[in-house]
Amino acid sequence: MTQSKNVKYYNLDINELGKAIIALQKEDVNQTLLYWKPKAEQIINNKSQDINEIEHTLDALCEVAFDDEVLALFKRLCRYYYDIDPQATAKQIRFYREMWDNDDEEIED
């Protein structure tokens, strides 16, 4: 095989890999919303004070908070949780920022 053919197949493999990653991300978001959205809404609607349940839900939402709908739900639950435990809520927000926010330094590197 010539070098140009190797590059062609290499690029095809990367493109296919990229498509597979995007498909998996979408599926992960769908599954997260299917399971965790009702849980988050139940917590808020029932005015739950169960810190373990709230934090577990926030952790699960944060894992896929690159998605706008999941992020909106994460923020909504954080706003609810803030009245219960502001320090724990701040910790959850820091965790989100460490995971998903881009620093200017990272962009420049």
Structure confidence at residue 50 (pLDDT): 97
Q: Which of 54, 98, 62 is nearest to 80 (CA)?
A: 54
Structure confidence at residue 15 (pLDDT): 81
Structure confidence at residue 17 (pLDDT): 85
Residues in the chain where the model's pLDDT stays below 70: 1-12, 103-109
State the DSSP code for 4. Answer: H
Domain residues for the domain of 41 are: 3-108
Kindly report, residue by residue over 17-43, the tens digit of the pLDDT.
888 888 899 999 999 999 999 999 999
Structure confidence at residue 107 (pLDDT): 37
Per the structure, how many domains does the chain have? 1
Structure confidence at residue 70 (pLDDT): 96
DSSP sequence for 43-98: HHHTT---HHHHHHHHHHHHHTTTSHHHHHHHHHHHHHHHTT-HHHHHHHHHHHHH
Structure confidence at residue 54 (pLDDT): 98
Contact 64, 28 (CB under 8 A): yes
